[in-house]
Structure 1
Amino acid sequence: MAGNDPADDGELSGPLADESGEPGEDAEEFLSDEQLAAYGCYTRPPTVDELDQFFVLDDEDRNLIADKRGDANRLGFMLQLTTLRYLGKFLDDPLVVPAVVLDDVSAQLGIVDPSCVKAYSQRVNTKWEHQREIRQRAGWRGYAEGSAELAQWLDRRCWNTGETSAQLFYGAIGWLRQRQIELPGLARLMQDVSGTRSAAEARLRHELVGQINGRQATFLLRLLDVDPKTNKSALEILRRRPVEQTVTGLIKALRRVGEVAGADLGGVDVTVVPQRRLRELARDGMMRNATALRRRRPYEYQLATLLSAIVYLEAKATDDALELFDLIVTSELLARAQRASKTEKLRRYPRLSRDAGKLAAAVEVFCWRPWTGVRTSRSTWCGTRSRTWCRARNFARRWPTLAAWCCRRTPTRTASGAPR
């Protein structure tokens, strides 16, 4: 059956494509006076793209008027057919069309004088006979034949998207026109749209509220109680995330997680409704104050909104606490350890530098400074130097970093003993 996916069909293109309604209006008042007057009639001349889409005549169209006599009959018949494609319904007066439509259709039929169409209304029954013939031969159906399919499409669309009554109304017009189903009267279509939407919304609320028990419902309703000291409700307090990036703020964030979890909603399966609808209810509950939520009717609507808000807050409060914990660990604990390590290095550095300076001076005297003392025997000189190198090698093995630092501080010498 056509129209199984509410997201990819029923889009309206034509004179009413840009109309929309505001959320929250009553079922009887979801259209303005201008929108009511624009239903099923020309409100502006069609655009070039719309002329190409709805008013171009093909061979099948021309076959429909092959047996029609007179330019007035052929032109009037085609005006009714193209108007039905464009608006989805016949006009009471089929000749009340924009001049651009009359000129375009008459040019395609090769009619030089479009004003001859005035003779089309001389015989009253002609337009009714042509309308009946168009329904039979062009494949158009009456609204009674397609109303059940439309109701199913509207129910799926409302269940999945939560569109307003006005959006569903104009979506239904596009859906009917695409399937060549003639539009009904304005009151009938408005009644069907508002009734289907009300039933879908009631079913959505029942699916959510039917899973909670009395204790959970009491917990949710108490969230709207206002504290006289702070003049804020418990829900408004829970909606506020901690701002202190300290351990105290982390404790408040964890306490907030515990308070939200007090509803004990682990057994509630919110996946029975579309996630988009759940987010819309949660957004509504997060934005409105306690007074507006208490006034919400029916009673199931109030509970469904609070339930969606708390389900959202459970995830939000946990994410806020984890984010704050990560921030504190990064900025407080690790930074404190780094500061302590740096302080210890600075404390030990003066002593290390003093000892390394002495060792560097000693190495420089032994290795590079010219010998000015009394010459001793070669065996004494070699033995002293061997013992010194042994000690230096042991020192380098024990403190390699310090030995390397000493070598960097010790200037190199040329062959003659002068520093470079």
Structure 2
Amino acid sequence: MPVEFILDDQAARYGRFAADPTPEQLAPYFFLDEADLTLIAERRRNHNKLGFAVQLCTLRYLGTFLPNPIQVPQVAVRHVAGQLGLPADVFMPYALREETRYTHRHSIIRSLEYQEFDGVQAFRLIRRIYAHLAVSAIGPIVLFDFATAHLIAQKVVLPGVSALARLSAEQRQSLERLLVLPEGKWQTPLEVLRTPSSRVGALSLT
């Protein structure tokens, strides 16, 4: 799916570690509290404990999981391993069991009360975008970042970059139509959206 309307660096950093997390970022996102430790303790082997913990922290930080958790920066792995009293190198075997990783992901999503991106979440995102457009005109590049930030704030697991780009592209086309002045009209659809209702009737309260 083409993503030509977003910048290359947007696509490159979407759902990925653009750089090693800083100490200021490690402290809130890669800290394991008592609830986390209780959940992690349910895993039987050390590599599963560390792998589960790293994936949990990754979701908090990125809003999604990496295709392969081995791509998580070592500074983050060491930070998490230190809290578990484990050597960081026990993390490597975790990459060998794809089925285990996906089982852990479902458990983490449920435990952290995240939601998968589906048709309902897409509808809510589109509604949020239109509400934002009613008060502020934004271009497609900013629209993509706005959609990403909104999903993270709502604890929705980010979809693939192509899926969000496709959705944002559709909204870009809708945005462009909002800026076109219809024949015989004196306001564009966007201006109509921004104009408050002159009176409150029964329909506007529904």
TM-score by length of 1: 0.42
1:273: how far off? 4.8
1: CA distance between counterparts of 2:56 and 2:121?
A: 20
Are the equivalent residues in 2 in contact too, given 1:142–1:181 (CA < 8 A)?
yes
Pairing of 1:235-384 with structure 2 (within 5 A): 272-274=192-194
Gaps of 5+ in 1: 1-26, 213-266, 276-420
Find 2:54's aligned residue among 74, 79, 104. Answer: 79
Question: Structure 1 residues 198 and 158, CA, compared in 2 at 3 Å: closer, same or farther?
Answer: farther
- The answer to whether the aligner puts 1:202 opposite 2:182 as a matched pair is no
Find 2:89's aligned residue among 94, 115, 123. Answer: 115
In the TM superposition, what whole-angstrom CA distance separates every residue of 1:346-385 from its partner, at most 9, and x where no partner exists?
Answer: xxxxxxxxxxxxxxxxxxxxxxxxxxxxxxxxxxxxxxxx
Pairing of 1:51-200 with structure 2 (within 5 A): 51-111=26-86, 113-144=87-118, 145-200=120-175
Larger Rg: 1
Are the equivalent residues in 1 in contact too, given 2:55–2:105 (CA < 8 A)?
yes
2: CA distance between counterparts of 1:180 and 1:194?
A: 22
Are the equivalent residues in 2 in contact too, given 1:154–1:197 (CA < 8 A)?
no
In the TM superposition, what whole-angstrom CA distance separates every residue of 1:165-219 from its partner, at most 9, and x where no partner exists?
Answer: 111111211111111111111111011112123213423434x76534xxxxxxx
Whose RCO is larger (CA < 8 A, sep 6+)?
2
1: CA distance between counterparts of 2:127 and 2:135?
A: 12
- Across the two proteins, how many residue pairs are aligned to each other? 192
2: CA distance between counterparts of 1:69 and 1:271?
A: 59
Are the equivalent residues in 2 in contact too, given 1:40–1:88 (CA < 8 A)?
yes
Question: Structure 1 residues 141 and 101, CA, compared in 2 at 3 Å: closer, same or farther?
Answer: same
Question: Structure 1 residues 34 and 200, CA, compared in 2 at 3 Å: closer, same or farther?
Answer: closer
2: CA distance between counterparts of 1:204 and 1:164?
A: 12
Q: RMSD over aligned Cα, in angstroms? A: 2.5
Find 2:15's aligned residue among 40, 61, 84. Answer: 40
Matching residue's letter, 1:42: F
Q: Secondary structure of the residue that 2:135 maps to in structure 1?
A: helix
Question: Structure 1 residues 164 and 53, CA, compared in 2 at 3 Å: closer, same or farther?
Answer: farther
Matching residue's letter, 2:123: A
Which stretch shows the higher mean deviation, 102-111 or 193-202?
Answer: 193-202
Are the equivalent residues in 2 in contact too, given 1:159–1:201 (CA < 8 A)?
no
1:110: how far off? 2.0
Q: Secondary structure of the residue that 2:114 maps to in structure 1?
A: coil
2: CA distance between counterparts of 1:194 and 1:187?
A: 10
Gaps of 5+ in 2: 196-206
Question: Structure 1 residues 58 and 33, CA, compared in 2 at 3 Å: closer, same or farther?
Answer: same
In the TM superposition, what whole-angstrom CA distance separates every residue of 1:63-118 from its partner, at most 9, and x where no partner exists?
Answer: 2212111221111001111111111211111121112101111112222x110111
Are the equivalent residues in 2 in contact too, given 1:65–1:77 (CA < 8 A)?
yes
Question: Structure 1 residues 156 and 209, CA, compared in 2 at 3 Å: closer, same or farther?
Answer: farther
1:138: how far off? 1.9
TM-score by length of 2: 0.82
Runs of 4+ in 1 over 4 A off after TM superposition: none
Matching residue's letter, 2:194: P
Which residue does 1:31 correspond to in 2?
Answer: 6
- The answer to whether the aligner puts 1:211 opposite 2:188 as a matched pair is no
Are the equivalent residues in 1 in contact too, given 2:151–2:157 (CA < 8 A)?
yes
Query: Percent of pairs identical after alignment?
Result: 31
1:134: how far off? 1.2
